[in-house]
Structures are given as C-alpha cells and as structure tokens.
Amino acid sequence: MGCDGGTIPRRDELVKVKKKPEAKDKDSELIFHWRYCAVTQQLLQNPIVMCGLGKLYNKISLIEALLNRETMPKSTLHIKSLKDIKDLNLTPNPVYKDDEKKDGGSDGRAAPYICPVIGLEMSGKFRFVALWSCGCVFSERALKEIATKNCHKCQKPFTNEDVVILNGNEEDMILMKQRMELRQQKHKKNREKKIKVEIATTSANTSSMKVDSDSKQSIKKITSLNSTKRPGSLKEATHDAKKMKPSYSVAKDPKVTDVYKSIFTTHESEKQQNRAHW
C-alpha cells in the first residue's frame, strides 16, 4: 500500500484529527487595539478620537471614512457624524522614545501614553477609561480609588454616563452601548429644550418690538397734534378775542395787509378823496 522501503507512517498522517483553533498572540492583539487605528489599521497619531463604544481612531482617517462610507467597516457603522466621536486629551509617556514611535513600539518596552494620576502605562495591560464630557483619559484604578465626580485632570464635572471604557470586553461593549444611547437621548432633549427657549425668546422680542413700535407711533401722533396746535395757538386766540371788541379797527391791525385795508373807508386813501362816502 505504498509503505514499502521501510517507511513508517505517523498517526496524524493516517487519522484525521480535529484541528485546534489558532491561538492568538495576546501581546500582538493588545498592541493592535491600543496603538493602531480601528478603521485604517495605521499607527495612531494625534489627533486621536474615540467613539461611544471606546474604540480608538485617527481623526483624519475617520473623517475620510465618513466622506466615503463604503470604506468603513461594519464595526464603525454606529458613527454617523463628528458628533458621535470625542477628541481625547492624552498624557504622553516621557519614557517612550523616538525610535519606538517610528516602528510603533512593537517590542512593547514602553507605551506612548500613561495615566496622569498614578502613572500606569496605557498598553492594554491595565483598564483605561475616558470621559465623554472633557475627553481626558486615565486608568480605571484611579477612577475607583479617587471617588469624585470631577475630572482628575481638568476638574470638569462628569456623570456615570460620561465614563467610556477604552477597548473593553464584550460585557463592557454592552454597557457602553447603553450609555451611548442615554447620551444621545439626553442630547436630543437638551436640543429640543433649547429650540423651545429660542422660539419663546424670539416671540417675546417680536411682541415687545410691536408694543414699542405702537407706543412710538402713538407718541408721534400726540406730538404731531400738539405741534400743530402749539405754534401761535395762544396768539390766534388772543387776536380773535380782540376782533370781537367794539374798539377793534382794521386800519390799526398790524396783521392785515394794505390791500385789504384799502377796502374800508378808514384807510388814508379813502379819506383823501372828494367824493361822498357813507
């Protein structure tokens, strides 16, 4: 059967054994998640952003992917606009050397970023979190040990919904998805409330402008009426009262013209004539 010549077959050559699944290199996997972009698999470079699920991206690469959605993988379809990502405020590691920056630090000697509170390296061996309210990044141990509702780095207040676990496990992904939906609902409510306030403010301003315009128009009417009545009103009344007196004479009235005075017999031109007049 082909075994002549002293050939001794092995058991794995005669019996088909179920192959074991290929074991993943944990160190390589950690380096991939923490030092490379989740969209383009390129080395992470500033500015670095995260999504609501805690994945890390190069901001420029993600913007290019949003412009051409066909190139985006299925794991990033929850990112629809720049509102769904957050710029990260990372703390550089002073031990991380320039030669490691060039080749990506594949030897794992030092991580490019550290926790600003207790100094742990952000290499994947320790759990790290980021705050959606300010974008600051620090270790989960620092968040638990220093129980406060203000950011450890910038002192900005935050809530439990703002805490995003970076590169978490499957249980963390479920929790991050719930918190992402809660933030979106909260943002939507705040936006609707802001629109209502703006509409109410605009309507109040327009009504006040109408009242002011109406009051201005009424004031203008009153002033115009007063201005038409005021000039010479007392003088005219006094002059009319003088006309009603029996001692009034047209010839002595300074406001009457000479042409009008010549009609009456009291005028000098009528007095000098020889004809009779009655």
Range with the poorest average pLDDT among 11-20, 91-100, 111-120: 11-20
Give the percent of the chain with pLDDT over 70: 65
- Residue spans of beta strands (DSSP E) within the chain: 48-51, 56-58, 85-87, 91-92, 113-114, 128-131, 137-139, 163-165
* Full set of structural domains in the chain with CATH: 26-95+111-185 (3.30.40.10)
Count of CB atoms situated within 10 Å of the CB of 151 = 19
Tens-digit pLDDT profile for residues 99-147: 555 554 444 568 899 999 998 999 888 999 999 999 999 999 998 888 7
Each residue's pLDDT tens digit, 113-125: 999 999 899 988 8
Considering 164-168, 196-200, 248-252, the range whose residues carry the highest mean pLDDT is 164-168
